[in-house]
């Protein structure tokens, strides 16, 4: 019998995020993940870490939240295996990825804006400047040992410098009025309506969207999962 050198064990990716941009990015790369949204209280996780370790660097904060989300979803899948099967999650083949993003501007960490006024103020502070978009990624390997499962839990952070256009107040208010900035970390997108207002980036633009495909590929490589095993 001839065995293809390209044959690899099937891996089912579970995305522990409700972000449409992350899902779209994975689908564009040929991956069809199952979405299972975590129930993590982000403020509580950060507050607990602050009490234990002191103030966190932005790159560490997003990694901590990504870990909390991925491990929360992994526990739910293992605890509710019958429900997971109905969702199409093959637990014995599942690898969970959790992500979280924050913008660092002038030493301050910025998540999603509180409201439209906050988004306008953010953009007035950001325009003509550069900020760093940090996106934490965390993997939990739930696969059975018989198909190569490692039981590993590991992660890393992608950091990309974004240079913002020096736009006027009318342009800012018109953008905020679309509602898009209210739904995303840093109050902007690079793959949507905010794209014209990002002059350039230094680093992986996928990380700005919310999930770095090269970094995810590297993390999967750490648990011997080739990228091609995720594609349908």
Measured between alpha carbons, how far is 162 from 92 in angstroms, rounded to an integer? Answer: 39
Q: Which of 72, 100, 141, 204 is catalytic?
A: 100
Q: Which two tokens stand for residue 142?
A: 């739930």
Q: State the DSSP code for 5.
A: T
Q: How far is CA 128 from CA 100, 106, 168, 205, 213, in A?
A: 25, 13, 10, 19, 28
Q: What are phi and psi of 133, to 5 degrees?
A: -95, 115
- Cβ distance 64 to 70 under 8 Å? no
72 noted as active-site residue: no
Catalytic residues: 100
């Amino acid at each position: 019998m001839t065995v293809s050198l390209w044959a690899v064990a099937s891996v089912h990716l579970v995305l522990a995020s409700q972000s449409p941009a992350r899902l779209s990015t994975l689908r564009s790369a040929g991956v069809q993940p199952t979405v299972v949204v975590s129930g993590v209280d982000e403020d509580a996780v950060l507050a607990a870490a602050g009490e234990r370790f002191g103030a966190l660097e932005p790159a560490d904060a997003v990694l901590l939240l990504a870990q909390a989300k991925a491990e929360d979803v992994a526990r739910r899948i293992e605890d509710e295996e019958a429900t997971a099967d109905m969702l199409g999650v093959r637990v014995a083949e599942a690898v969970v990825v959790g992500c979280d993003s924050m913008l660092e501007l002038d030493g301050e960490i910025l998540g999603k804006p509180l409201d439209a006024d906050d988004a306008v103020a953010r953009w007035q502070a950001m325009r003509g400047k550069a900020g760093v978009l940090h996106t934490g990624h965390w993997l939990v390997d739930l696969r059975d040992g018989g198909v190569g499962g490692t039981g590993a839990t590991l992660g890393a952070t992608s950091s990309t410098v974004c240079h913002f256009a020096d736009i006027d107040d009318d342009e800012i208010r018109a953008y905020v009025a679309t509602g898009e900035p209210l739904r995303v970390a840093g109050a902007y997108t690079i793959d949507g309506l905010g794209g014209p207002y990002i002059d350039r980036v230094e680093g992986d633009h996928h990380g700005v969207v919310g999930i770095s495909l090269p970094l995810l590929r590297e993390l999967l490589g750490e648990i011997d999962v080739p990228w091609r095993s995720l594609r349908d």
